[in-house]
Amino acid sequence: MLLKKLSLLKFKNYDELSVDLSSSVNCFLGNNGEGKTNLLDAIYYLSFCKSYFNPIDIQNIKHNEPFFAIDGIYEQNDSEIKVYCGLKKGQKKIVKFNKKNYERHADHIGIIPLVMISPLDVLLIIEGSEGRRKFIDGIISQYDKSYLEHLLQYNKALVHRNMLLKSFWLNKNFDSDLLDIWNEQLIKNGELIHQARKKFIQDFSPIFQKYYSLLSKNLEVVKLNYESQLNNKDFSLLLKEGLEKDQITHYTNAGIHKDDLEFLISDYPLKKFASQGQQKTFLLALKLAQAEIISEISKKKVIFLLDDIFDKLDENRMKQLLNILGNGNFGQIFITDTSITRIPKILTQENIIYNAFQISNGGITNV
């Protein structure tokens, strides 16, 4: 699926903007703070019904304005598809596909496969396990609707079970039959999620290792380990064994909400032993593998967004990355950079077709 035209109204720093786009590579170039990243975020919004950077929808409305609207015109198999996302203050967000409203925004996820690479990705390495679980969930949910449904049901059951544990503590009572209702929901959905995550890592790891080798020229060996309490023990047994601790903490201490993804380089933790360049290469390989596996399973080419990632890459790695992205295996590419000449120069040298736009003061012009 190709994004042919993007239109914004009162979104972030943009008052009004409309731009026709290349089916290959699009470069948004200009100084920091001009709105390059906001254009990528608008494209991301059209795929996921939310901002990549700001989860509070109302804060994506331009200052002192009552609403925002994003329109995308896509092309798929010679057919035109229109996607709309909009929000008015005090009202519910609206998402439309060919002018038809979605009852659930989750039903739109996966329709327009997309992968985002940004400086924020380093949080996958340096912060806690929640971000790494979301990374896995975000990939699987783009091609497996049932997985997303199991995840929603699991999280709902987890909230209710935790509320029940707190209620037992406050009221100094205990009802095992009531607890079993939510235990059953956790076990049913949790086991399916665990199986899907385990299978995903098995399929994903060799693709990830392939891209890391391409980008690093085989300098190091990298590995992904899926850590889960369910790897070695039945979920129902984990809940029984952990009940006393759950009652003390008023929280469910066992389950797939505790899963993690361990990043290793030469069998050592990436966070402690990798250089900034190695971490950057690791993250790029993760995202390239993410795009390939989504594309393979969904049979759709993936839109790629690259936000300001080239400052810490040497020219050789930049060329390798752009060649990988421009080889036709992926879909449309959108790149931001503070240099007007750096990316266009490499794309020209590598004979990759592109459009370049300069972003300034909420406006856009062809370079």
- The domain that holds 36 is classified in CATH as 3.40.50.300
Name the nearest CA neighbour of 248 among 168, 183, 184.
168
- Per-residue model confidence (pLDDT) at position 367: 86
CATH number at residue 151: 1.20.1050.90
pLDDT at 102: 93
Decide if 118 is inside a domain.
no
User: 22 and 168: one domain?
Assistant: no
Flag whether 123 is in a domain.
no
- The beta-strand segments (E) located in 90-184 are 94-97, 100-101, 114-117
Same domain, 155 and 178: yes
Assess whether 145 and 248 both reside in one domain: yes
Going 103 to 106 to 109 to 115, the CA torsion angle's sign is positive
89 and 201 part of one domain: no
Residues 245 and 139 in one domain: yes
**Would residue 120 count as lying in a domain?**
no
Q: What is the pTM of this model?
A: 0.87
Indicate whether 158 belongs to any domain.
Answer: yes
Side-chain-side CA neighbours of 307 within 13 Å: the count stands at 22
Mean pLDDT over the full length of the chain: 93
- Among residues 219, 225, 334, 211, the alpha carbon closest in space to that of 282 is found at 211
In a domain, 187, yes or no: yes
Note whether 179 and 255 are same-domain residues.
Answer: yes
In the listed set 247, 272, 295, which residue is the last one of a domain according to the structure? 295
- d(Cα 9, Cα 83) in Å, to the nearest integer? 14
Same domain, 304 and 289: no
Tell me the C-alpha distance between 71 and 88, whole Å.
Answer: 15
Check residue 77 and give its pLDDT.
85
Residue 119 falls inside a structural domain: no
- Give the residue numbers spanning the domain of 333: 1-113+300-367
- Here the tokens at position 218 are 């085989």
Task: Please name which of 298, 362, 276, 288 lies closest in space to residue 323, comparing C-alpha atoms.
Answer: 288
pLDDT in tens, 207-265: 999 999 988 887 789 999 999 999 999 999 999 999 999 999 999 999 999 999 999 99
Residue-wise pLDDT tens digits, 75-108 = 988 899 999 999 999 999 999 999 999 989 989 9
Residues 337 and 283 in one domain: no
| pLDDT at residue 59 greater than cutoff 90 | yes
| Domain co-membership, 164 together with 77 | no
Q: Is residue 199 part of a domain?
A: yes
Number of compact structural domains in the chain: 2
Residues 251 and 313 in one domain: no
Res 131: pLDDT:
94
Q: What is the pLDDT of residues 274-333, one digit of tens each?
A: 988 889 889 999 999 999 999 998 888 899 999 998 876 777 778 888 888 877 778 899
Whether 362 has a pLDDT exceeding 90, the answer reads no
* 55 pLDDT more than 90: no
- Dihedral angle over CA of 346, 347, 350, 352, nearest 10: 180
Domain boundary among 248, 278, 295: 295
Do residue 170 and residue 109 come from a single domain? Answer: no
* Domain end among 295, 322, 352: 295
Residue 266, SS3 per DSSP: coil
**pLDDT at position 232:** 94
Q: What is the pLDDT of residue 264?
A: 96
Residue 122 lies in a domain: no
Q: Can you tell me whether residue 354 is helix, strand or coil?
A: strand
Residues 359 and 228 in one domain: no
